Structure formats: structure tokens, C-alpha cells
Chain A
């Protein structure tokens, strides 16, 4: 290498420093100008949603005016933009189940509430869903539950869908349970469910089979009344 090498190296360093100084003065355009993504920092915070009028909502749901007002105040306080996206929904729902992982079930629940499948729950969806759950008839409630289980909304509950739902419910329990949740527990539960519900043994459960079986089950019918006083 010797002296020649060191001199070359020195000259190289000087050139680099010179370029750095030029860059500071903006004379030499930075090479990474096409990565200019400063605009994307501006969040499009104009996404906002106003719900339909109070009268329309009153017509669509079974809540009184005061109840709707109270519900909206709480909703607006939490989501000032008027929309709940899936991530926020998952976070909120997970807070009620600290021991387990509620994200999967929250995902299914989100899809059940998001009627028009646009990725966010508006106040109307929220309130209509609640109306069904709290003030609806037994058939409506069962319909809602079927809609929840039917992940791809094709009108049939397959074993895989049921298994996914069941696993997500057992996930919410977490690890520390008594007795311990075995790995086969969800599949066994699904088997039992299908044995009960699937009358014609075709491997899927339709809405009619579901409603018919549930109406025959005393326990289910009695427990449907439980949550009416939540609001």
C-alpha cells in the first residue's frame, strides 16, 4: 500500500467531506429524493362520520330516545371520529379478558357487527346490533348468533368455521384455568355441537336446523332472557 495508498485514501476522505458540505447547502440534490414521503405524514384525519338522525335510529331500533342519547354520548366520547376500526375494537374487547387472548374472537365479533363490511363500525351498526341483542326476539337473537358463527356469511356453518369460533372462545380463557384446557377440548366441543345441531348429517348446519335445535333446548331458551337489562 504505502504512501500512495494513504494519499489516495486521504483524498477520498476530503472528497466525501466536500460532498457532505454541498449537501448541507442543498446544491447537491440528495440521491434519495424519490423516497420523499413527508406527505404521507399528513394523516388524512378528515375521515369522520355523523350518524343518521335520532328519529331514524329510533325507528330502526327498539331503544328509547334517552337510551339512544346516552349510548351515543358514550360512543362519541370513546371514538370522536364516529367510527370504530378493527384494531381499536380488538383493543377494547381485549381489556375485558385480561388473562386470555381475545383478538380472534373480537375479529369475528367485529365482522358480525360490521353489517356493510366496510372495515369500520359506525354508530348505526353498533346500535342496531345492540338492539337485536338486548331488545330483539329470541329468533332475532338466534339469527344474530348464527350470523356470528357463519364466518364467510354463506348461510352454512361448516365444521371448520365452528372450530375456528370455538378455538377463539377457548383462547379467551387463557392458560391458567382449572381444569387445564386440553388441546382437544375445542374439537370435542365442536363435535358435540354438530351432533346436536346437524340433523341431516350433511356436515353443515343451516339456519333452520340451528333455530329449530335451539328452540327445543330449554337451557338456551331460558338464558336468552338474561342480558336484557344490560342497558
Chain B
């Protein structure tokens, strides 16, 4: 029930006195109103901005936070007010909802921020008033599309290979993402080349060549060099067949693959050849055989695997299907009307070309699309009048749906471009996050060394660590004690493991993903240590190592941990004796500073004196190593 109705309830109850004289049975007792306090003004302090409202106003919606007893949790006895540590601008809209009964969506606010506020205050977004509902829905849909694209792109594109992928899975990945391995890239270009060759051959074989000796008529090249063209065609078809069979073998779901558009195009492209092979040289069927050759031109559609623009075009046309359908329908209507009119207008003329209504269709189409071939021309005055009306209306009817299609195309194209930009940004972001995580690990290892070295608990740098850091380090320490294993960082791990994991990491790889994958892959020799590493990762970042996880960034925002010494040193000159990062842990500054290529800083950050403690060495090597990684990623 609406809020206002609650105001009228006492009135409706009072009006029930009118039933009393007619009542057949006795009335039930009314409920006891416990809170019989009269209306009072409540004070709500939202981040310093004080709002005041009647208690009744808030009680209108008892299922929300402010209308129920949940707000008691936020009551501050000293100041006698309810304190909320949220955005006061947004709160204004929330409070207006209570006052007027209608929730409005402020157009200049971010849709996610608004949703979060609504969720906090326990208000369902469906009550947004009609005036703002459309805007809200549009923005929300747009936002969801954007986020869905990001996750999809992340998963699809450079997702690291699972460690134990079969050859079949690897093959499929090579087909879908050609730039993951050189072999795939080579195959991709080879098929592209052969598609082009095949299409050009189809075209050229119809061009008239000089006739052979003894004949006068011009022959098409296809017949003159029949053997050559046949060999070329065979080669192309062999390549296409091989590709198709490979894809069929590698596809994770064969049925789905066979139903997909690209595979249908593939089949249509190669079938004519095989049909031509098996068909005998019969006069009757050679006509049909010629028709089949037409289908060879569909090979050009195979280019859509190679070109994203073509795919976008196809997707646009598909999404504009309704507009195109409308265009077609209205054109058909107009054609029939005008053809009929023209036919009857020109009926009497001698030698008129408008022999029947279907014959007039051709005239109407040519006129409406303003082609005007001139093979059919009206001669009577009426015919000319209607012909001119026909051409004018044709322009209008065709022009109407075109802007819709264009705007759709533009939207999809921009979405695609944005997706590409996002992917590039994502790589940089991931690099930053990884560096920050390493910093956390290093900080903890430093803490452990401090503890071990200065067991009397009076280090110079302890006071510079925040309470948060202390508690976090203590927590990790507790975990170590629980599992009776210790945290190390990657370099130590690889040293101790002495496996090919080092080889993986220092090898040149074109993308961080393979490096990431390699780290995950190094389960070879030390499964126990691998689990420990997994535990360490888990402890350091409360989320999995999967990329594109927004939670990672959130978690890091909460932690005000120290960052790798190399970047800190570039920001503040003071350094500890032990060359540790003892500056103010200012994480937000770190995020801003990291994009400036950290490659500049390693030289100055490497501590000039070789520290005796192996931990330091480990750290510096780790930092140097980190830089290598980052360098590769930013390329």
C-alpha cells in the first residue's frame, strides 16, 4: 500500500463507527497501540549534514532501514541523533522518498552508487517513480552491458590455459584466438591467403582471354586454362576441408559447432566442389552444376573470421532486424499500391510496357529507389502524375528506417572499440595490482625478519607501521603457526624448488597471462609447496588469482599496506637503516604513482650496500624481477 494510505488508516478506522448499529456480531477488541507517543522530530546526521524529519514520516515505510527499528543501531546517545556515514547528497533523495512517496533518480549520479545507497537503506529500486524510471532502467542496462562485456572479454581473450589441457583444447584455443601461439597465427594467415586466392580465381576465370590458335571467339580464361584453375581450386578446397575437419575435431561441443553460422558457411563453400566431383558429366545436371558454382562465392564470407568489422556489420544487421522488416513491409505495400495504380492508368495506351500488374512492380521499384532505368515510362498524364508521387514517396519510405540502422551500427561499433580499450587498460591495471600484492608479501616477510632479528621488540621501524599492518601481520603469522608452514616469496620458492618454474618466468613471453599461467603451472616438483603458495596467495589477497576480479582492487583499497620499496623510494626520500619501506603507508598514492613507469626507479631503489641479510637480497631481486614483469606488460 502506498505511504499516503497509511495516513488515512486512522480515518478509515474511525469511519467504521458507521457499521456498529448494523453489526450482527460483536466487534473485536482493537489492538493496543504501544507507542502512543505523540509525533516527534528526529535528527538524522549524514556525514555532518543534519536532516530533521517527523518520526511519522519515516514510519511510513516500515520495511526500510529508516522506518524500522534497524535505525536504532545508528543512534548516537551523546548527540541524540542518528548518524550515518554515507553520502549526504544521496540521502536527500532517500529522504524525499519518505516525504513524497516517490523515489526519484538523480540524473547526474552514477547508477551503481545510487543502487548501493538504495540497498543500504533497504529500498527496492522498483518504487522509482514513473518520471525517472525510464532513465534509471536505461542507465542500468547500459552499465550491465558494459560490465558483462568486460568479464566476457577477460574470460574469452587471454585466459590462461588450464595446466592440464588436452591437445584438443589447445587446438580449439589456437583456432579461436590466433594470436596466442605462432603456429595458430601462421595457420590464420595461410587460410586467409587461400580464401583470397580462391575468390580471385573464381572471378578471373570468367574474364575473356585471348582465344587459342585456330579459333576466333574469345574464351573465358577458365576454359582456356582449365587444368590450372582446377588445380588451384582443388588446393583451396583441400585446405578448407582440412581446416573444417580440424575445427570439428577440436570443438568442445560438436553439435553446437556444426550449427554455428561460420561452420555452415564453411560447408557451403566446399560442398560444390565435392558435388561436382561425384556428379557425372551429364547434360541434364550440368545446369544444376553451374548453379552450384555460384555458391563458391560464399567463400568470401569466410573472411568474417578474419575481420572484426564484418562481424560487427553482421551483428548490426541482425539487431536491426525489426527495422529492416518494417522497411521491407512498407516498401511492399507501397509497391503493390503504386503498381496497381500505374497499370490501370497506362492500360489504354497503345504499345504500353505496363502489360500487367506484376510487370508494373519492376517500374515501381525502379522509381521508388530513384534508379529510373527508363525501360518502362508512363505516357498518359495520369500515369505521369502517379509516377512522380511514387518516386517522392519512395524516397521518404526508404529514408525513414535508415537512421535507426545507422545509430545501431554506431552504438555497436563504439561498444567494440570501448571493449578493446578496456582490455588494454585492464592489462595495466592487473600489472599494478600484482605489484601491489607483491608489496604486501614483501612487507610481511620484512616484518618476519624484523621479528627474528630484533626479538626484543624494539625496532626503529615498528612505530611507523600502522595498527592495521601489525594486526594483519599477526594474522598471517597465526596462519603460519597453524599450518606449521612459512610464507616465502616467489624467488625463494623457485630457488628451493629448483624447478623449471624459474625458466618459465624469465623466459620471454608476449603476455603476462602466460607468466601467470606459468606460475600456476609450476606444480611439477613440489606439490606441497604449491599448495603453500596457493595458501599464501589466498591469505594475501582474499580473492582468487583470477584476473579481472573487481574484488581484488577493493581488497587492496582496504589494505593500507606498504608498497614495494622501489616505488616508495621514488616518492619519499627517507628510508630506514634497513632499507625498508617505512614511510607512511599511503596506498592511494601508490596506485597513482605506479603507472609512471617504475622502470625508472629500480636503479635508485636498489640499495647500494649489499645487505648481509639474505632477506634483503631476496627482496631486491624480487623487485628487479617485478620490474621485468611490468616492463613486459606495459609494452
Find A130's partner among B11, B345, B380 (CB 8 Å cutoff).
B11
Closest B residue to A229 by CB, please name it. Answer: B33
- The answer to whether the Cβ of B589 comes within 8 Å of any Cβ in the partner chain is no
- The answer to whether the Cβ of A46 comes within 8 Å of any Cβ in the partner chain is no
Find A74's partner among B7, B12, B19, B347 (CB 8 Å cutoff).
B7
The 8 A CB mask of A141-182 against B (1 = contact, 0 = none) is 110110011000000000000000110010000000000000
The 8 A CB mask of A38-51 against B (1 = contact, 0 = none) is 00000000000000
Q: Which of the listed residues B14, B21, B382, B385 has the most CB atoms from chain A within 10 Å of its own CB?
A: B21
Contact present for B4 and A77 (CB under 8 Å): yes
- The answer to whether the Cβ of B23 comes within 8 Å of any Cβ in the partner chain is yes
Assembled-state Cα–Cα distance A75/B11 (Å) = 11
- The answer to whether the Cβ of A66 comes within 8 Å of any Cβ in the partner chain is yes
List, in ascending order, chain A residues with CB within 8 A of B26's CB.
219, 222-223
Assembled-state Cα–Cα distance A148/B54 (Å) = 35
| Nearest CB in chain A: distance from B350 CB, A | 12
- The answer to whether the Cβ of A109 comes within 8 Å of any Cβ in the partner chain is yes
| Nearest CB in chain B: distance from A171 CB, A | 13
**Which bracket fits the contact residues of B?**
35 or more
Closest B residue to A9 by CB, please name it. Answer: B382
Find A229's partner among B19, B27, B30 (CB 8 Å cutoff).
B30
Contact present for B17 and A10 (CB under 8 Å): no
- The answer to whether the Cβ of A59 comes within 8 Å of any Cβ in the partner chain is no
A10-B385, A219-B23 known; A226+B2 contact, CB < 8 A? no
Assembled-state Cα–Cα distance A70/B56 (Å) = 9
Find A77's partner among B7, B11, B18, B39 (CB 8 Å cutoff).
B7
List, in ascending order, chain A residues with CB within 8 A of B389's CB.
13, 17
| Nearest CB in chain A: distance from B20 CB, A | 5
List, in ascending order, chain B residues with CB within 8 A of A220's CB.
20-21, 23
Closest A residue to B1 by CB, please name it. Answer: A95
Contact present for B30 and A226 (CB under 8 Å): yes
Contact present for A227 and B17 (CB under 8 Å): yes
| Nearest CB in chain A: distance from B26 CB, A | 5
Contact present for B14 and A70 (CB under 8 Å): no
Closest B residue to A92 by CB, please name it. Answer: B8
Closest A residue to B348 by CB, please name it. Answer: A3
Contact present for B22 and A169 (CB under 8 Å): yes
Find A224's partner among B8, B17, B24 (CB 8 Å cutoff).
B17
Contact present for B21 and A109 (CB under 8 Å): no
- The answer to whether the Cβ of B558 comes within 8 Å of any Cβ in the partner chain is no
Find B21's partner among A9, A11, A112, A210 (CB 8 Å cutoff).
A210
Contact present for A3 and B380 (CB under 8 Å): yes
A3-B380, A92-B5, A96-B5 known; A134+B23 contact, CB < 8 A? no
A73-B54, A92-B5 known; A10+B345 contact, CB < 8 A? yes
Assembled-state Cα–Cα distance A10/B9 (Å) = 69
- The answer to whether the Cβ of B386 comes within 8 Å of any Cβ in the partner chain is yes
| Nearest CB in chain A: distance from B357 CB, A | 15
List, in ascending order, chain A residues with CB within 8 A of B13's CB.
227, 230
A66-B39, A223-B26, A226-B30 known; A126+B17 contact, CB < 8 A? no
Assembled-state Cα–Cα distance A141/B17 (Å) = 8
A223-B20, A227-B17 known; A74+B9 contact, CB < 8 A? no
List, in ascending order, chain A residues with CB within 8 A of B56's CB.
70, 73-74
- The answer to whether the Cβ of A14 comes within 8 Å of any Cβ in the partner chain is yes
- The answer to whether the Cβ of B29 comes within 8 Å of any Cβ in the partner chain is yes
- The answer to whether the Cβ of A133 comes within 8 Å of any Cβ in the partner chain is yes
The 8 A CB mask of A10-25 against B (1 = contact, 0 = none) is 1101100100000000
A73-B54, A112-B18 known; A3+B38 contact, CB < 8 A? no
| Nearest CB in chain A: distance from B246 CB, A | 64
Contact present for A230 and B14 (CB under 8 Å): yes
Contact present for A133 and B15 (CB under 8 Å): yes
List, in ascending order, chain A residues with CB within 8 A of B24's CB.
189
- The answer to whether the Cβ of B193 comes within 8 Å of any Cβ in the partner chain is no
| Nearest CB in chain B: distance from A224 CB, A | 6
- The answer to whether the Cβ of B227 comes within 8 Å of any Cβ in the partner chain is no
Contact present for B27 and A109 (CB under 8 Å): no
| Nearest CB in chain B: distance from A94 CB, A | 10
List, in ascending order, chain B residues with CB within 8 A of A226's CB.
27, 29-30
Assembled-state Cα–Cα distance A230/B7 (Å) = 12
The 8 A CB mask of B594-618 against A (1 = contact, 0 = none) is 0000000000000000000000000
Assembled-state Cα–Cα distance A126/B56 (Å) = 20
Find B385's partner among A14, A142, A230 (CB 8 Å cutoff).
A14
- The answer to whether the Cβ of B280 comes within 8 Å of any Cβ in the partner chain is no
List, in ascending order, chain A residues with CB within 8 A of B381's CB.
7, 10
Q: Which of the listed residues A10, A95, A129, A220 has the most CB atoms from chain B within 10 Å of its own CB?
A: A10
* B-facing residues in A65-115 (Cβ within 8 Å): 66-67, 70, 73-75, 77-78, 92-93, 95-96, 109, 112
Closest B residue to A165 by CB, please name it. Answer: B22
Contact present for B11 and A144 (CB under 8 Å): no
- The answer to whether the Cβ of B329 comes within 8 Å of any Cβ in the partner chain is no
The 8 A CB mask of B38-60 against A (1 = contact, 0 = none) is 11000000000000001010000
List, in ascending order, chain B residues with CB within 8 A of A148's CB.
18
Contact present for A7 and B4 (CB under 8 Å): no
The 8 A CB mask of B514-555 against A (1 = contact, 0 = none) is 000000000000000000000000000000000000000000
- The answer to whether the Cβ of B214 comes within 8 Å of any Cβ in the partner chain is no
Assembled-state Cα–Cα distance A129/B9 (Å) = 15
Q: Which of the listed residues A2, A78, A149 has the most CB atoms from chain B within 10 Å of its own CB?
A: A78
* A-facing residues in B152-192 (Cβ within 8 Å): none
In order of increasing CB-CB distance, the 9 nearest A-B pairs are A74-B7, A10-B382, A133-B14, A223-B27, A10-B385, A6-B382, A78-B4, A230-B10, A7-B382
Known: A3-B348, A95-B2, A219-B23; 4 extra A-B contacts, CB below 8 A, are A189-B22, A223-B23, A229-B33, A230-B14
Residues in chain B within 8 A of chain A (CB atoms): 1-2, 4-5, 7-24, 26-27, 29-30, 33, 36, 38-39, 54, 56, 99, 344-345, 347-348, 380-382, 385-386, 389
A-B contact pairs, 6 of them (CB 8 A): A7-B382, A13-B385, A95-B2, A112-B18, A169-B19, A227-B16
Residues in chain A within 8 A of chain B (CB atoms): 2-3, 6-7, 9-11, 13-14, 17, 66-67, 70, 73-75, 77-78, 92-93, 95-96, 109, 112, 126, 129-130, 133-134, 141-142, 144-145, 148-149, 165-166, 169, 189, 193, 210, 214, 219-220, 222-224, 226-227, 229-231
